[in-house]
Chains A and B, each alone.
Chain A
């Protein structure tokens, strides 16, 4: 599997991975999260574990088990840490701990390094036996419900270090806090190169004509992704450029608001035959890949965002992306170099027109965008960072490490 990244990932990342693999050879490295299916964390772990093993590291991935009561509680904790109003009672905290204790009895927690992903399994640190323990927080903690953070941080502060995706997602803590941005996998179904036949299959399925410029946004039908704003921007553009708009996303079954937002979007589109609203079922990775490759301009006009990895996915296809200046999007889009950051519907419309009218500029930005992702947002860089953090923790206090 490692060899598949040769010629794709930066050579220096691959060299460093091999060197760190040699330094940490045969050492045990345990990752624990709360689900084996769905979500960005799982996608990364699925790929990362075999690569780590190939590098000579004794990597293992365990998943905690819990009932629906446990996961209802952890969902509330997750939402509260992202700033939503939730009430977590003492009884709920006790249940959260109880399920973690049961898991600690079943899972072998002995390893040289242990990475616990997100708040669900955070209390496992109470059962730490050996090794360096890291709490990997994938969510934005910049504005949490303080009471909930105060409680969960009692566990978090017992780790040897925390890892956040972005510096502004972190909080002041007494332990070391490392930053490791998330990443995309260039050889996965969502990002790999496609054949013409594969492309045509999707185009035929959705009956999409490619004779006019295509504006695309791929995201859940969620108000924070501003699909209505995207349609409004498209309408401004339409006065100047004949184009079509594709809004592609999953129906968001776990989100009670999802249905309502989708209805609003359909109403707002008002039967415009040039607006395609595509409801993609789970595992539509190849279709998303095709849509990103055929699009002329890609938007991620979010009003609020986590890291927003769909931006890197689109950039990897050589596209200049127009993104809302929120969450992790400004880390991916260097304004005017790899795409454009916008703050309004009018701003989005203006940048779409700019890209549609200047195909050369659009192409150049798209090339910059792909190289930017190659250097900063591929999975090999993320694995390199995880191993570097572990290696750095073992050399505590040293700011410069020579290999």
Chain B
């Protein structure tokens, strides 16, 4: 009996920003607020960084601020190198960020201040998740859909899924593995570095590898000629 394939239901999320009313004008204040900020706040400034569609100098808001507003380049590089998906618990991630900042403060105990108005503002978010009304039953439909959906949908399935499911795996490759068992394609998607592309870049990469697969499946004649 043919295996019943569960269609891939595209969903999307948007975030509504909430201000905590707290801000930091230098590195010492940043670390002090980070130490007591809510988990939601740390989550927003790290995991949700990619939802904002920033360019690729940094990988989280703390690194971004250290680099752009404090011009602490080495610190921003250290902070950008922290992979939030390496941590099972948000407090472990918080502690790693604090260790890096503390280490920097030990070496440079008199941090400069940000310009007025350029302070770090601590925020949280409320996230709304909703179906976008697109469903794919096979890889060709999936390919069409991936080209069509908004960046917010890529964030939900490619980034947010890694923490939602707790396994560090994105929704796309999981579905392709479960539904079609295409190990090579699954590997290609899983090797896309989430930190090295913006959401549009991720979308293009996935579309590219899926298109390659669909074309290969489709080009029966080539295979026939090869086997002759």
How far is A337 from B145 in the complex, measured between Cα atoms in Å?
27
Contact indicator per residue, chain B 38-57, by CB within 8 Å of chain A (1) or not (0): 00100000000000011100
Interface size bucket, B side? 20 to 34
Q: Given A167-B123, A375-B53, are A179 and B17 also a contact pair (CB < 8 Å)?
A: yes
| Contact among B16, B40, B129, B131 for A392, CB-based, below 8 A | B16
| Contact among B17, B55, B124 for A334, CB-based, below 8 A | B55
How far is A323 from B125 in the complex, measured between Cα atoms in Å?
28
Q: Given A171-B21, A178-B16, A178-B18, are A12 and B117 also a contact pair (CB < 8 Å)?
A: no
A107 in the interface (beta carbon within 8 A): no
**How close is A225's CB to chain B, nearest CB, in angstroms?**
17
Contact indicator per residue, chain A 174-191, by CB within 8 Å of chain B (1) or not (0): 001111100000000000
A395's nearest neighbour on chain B, judged by CB, is B126
B150 in the interface (beta carbon within 8 A): yes
A133 in the interface (beta carbon within 8 A): no
Q: Given A388-B126, A400-B127, A402-B129, are A16 and B19 also a contact pair (CB < 8 Å)?
A: no
B152 in the interface (beta carbon within 8 A): yes
Contact partners of B12 in chain A: CB under 8 A? 12
CB within 8 Å of A: which B145-171 residues: 150-153
Q: Is the CB of B21 within 8 A of A10?
A: no
| Contact among B17, B21, B133, B151 for A173, CB-based, below 8 A | B21
**How close is A324's CB to chain B, nearest CB, in angstroms?**
11
Contact indicator per residue, chain B 6-45, by CB within 8 Å of chain A (1) or not (0): 0000001010111111110000000000000000100000
Q: Is the CB of B129 within 8 A of A400?
A: yes
Q: Is the CB of A403 within 8 A of B119?
A: no
Contact partners of B22 in chain A: CB under 8 A? 172
Q: Is the CB of A142 within 8 A of B117?
A: yes
**How close is B123's CB to chain A, nearest CB, in angstroms?**
6
How far is A177 from B20 in the complex, measured between Cα atoms in Å?
7
Interface size bucket, A side? 35 or more
Q: Given A167-B121, A167-B123, A168-B119, are A177 and B21 also a contact pair (CB < 8 Å)?
A: yes
Contact indicator per residue, chain A 336-359, by CB within 8 Å of chain B (1) or not (0): 010000000000000000000000
How far is A398 from B14 in the complex, measured between Cα atoms in Å?
14
Q: Is the CB of B40 within 8 A of A12?
A: no
Q: Is the CB of A384 within 8 A of B129?
A: no
B132 in the interface (beta carbon within 8 A): yes
Q: Can you list 30 A-B contacts with CB-CB less than 8 angstroms, sorted by A residue number?
A: A10-B150, A12-B150, A16-B14, A16-B128, A19-B130, A167-B17, A167-B19, A167-B123, A171-B21, A173-B21, A177-B20, A177-B21, A178-B16, A178-B18, A334-B55, A337-B55, A375-B53, A385-B16, A388-B16, A389-B16, A391-B128, A392-B16, A392-B126, A399-B127, A400-B126, A401-B128, A401-B129, A402-B129, A403-B129, A403-B131
Closest 4 CB pairs of A and B: A172-B21, A179-B17, A167-B121, A403-B130
